[in-house]
Structure 1
Amino acid sequence: MLNLGFDVDTDLHGDVRAGKRLDLGICSEYVKGAPDTGRITGSTLEVSFDDGATWTSVELDGVRGKSAAWTGSVRVPDDARYISVRAPAADDRGGEVKQEIIRAVGARKWRAGWELRRRWHGSHPLPHAPRIIPKAGCGSGVRGFAGR
């Protein structure tokens, strides 16, 4: 059985910056201990900024590492509120996994300091820049992220 995971840097609220370029990663690996595994042969990645009404392909680099992993980037439109993702992965033995997450992460147009202070009602002593959660990736125990 194949697993599929996504890598995306977000702030602590699960949001990314609208109007900026966003690096995305995708990885696929077998469930630990799965018998008769093959070689993971490929994947694609698509994103949507309108809850899945239309999809845009993300150009991915080649397979790297022990697990099958790819990276790409996309420009998030200024007016985007959410990003949806969908991707399949397959192996050379006919195994396949597909995943689609509508509203996987939020997108916000930030002004330095404004967003975090507003979320904490103006008085919490937080830094003036969004805090970023480090990327996880295949083999880290993180297998993707849930939609909102």
Structure 2
Amino acid sequence: MWGQPVPPPPRKKGNRALIFVIVALALLVVAGGAAAVIKLGGSDGDPGTALPSSSASADPSGQADPSGDASPAPESSTDARFVKAGQCVVNEGSNDAPELKIVDCRAKSFEVLARFDGTIDYEAKCKDVKGYQFHYFFDSELNPLDFVLCMKQR
């Protein structure tokens, strides 16, 4: 009855490897989902990604109030992402949270003198644009979607 002690059965090594693989896959799925949410979450043009500003040669108060008599243009899209040089925009938001809309060129609208895609470096791009007073840039998480507008107030 009292004999030599029986050693415990050997551990199965396959369980450790299987658990490690499952944990690693779960971490990859969670990290991939988080990256997708971050990447897709802020690229829809939310107000926090675009900032207006004026140059030193602009209104001494530094404030631009482009809202006024301008009405939306009869174009298929009034979104400033599609504006071209020669077109005009107004800010229907605020200087801190701008919402630029394409409009017919009128008093108090901003005429786009130049547009530069794939950059947010307004200082380098707008400095040599004749008549430049104000700028606007859109900073997307996808750099090819970034753009700078060099403008003057009408």
TM-score by length of 2: 0.22
| Structure with greater strand share of residues | 1
Larger radius of gyration between Structure 1 and Structure 2: 2
> Which of 1 and 2 has higher RCO (CA within 8 Å, sep 6+)?
1
| Structure with greater helix share of residues | 2
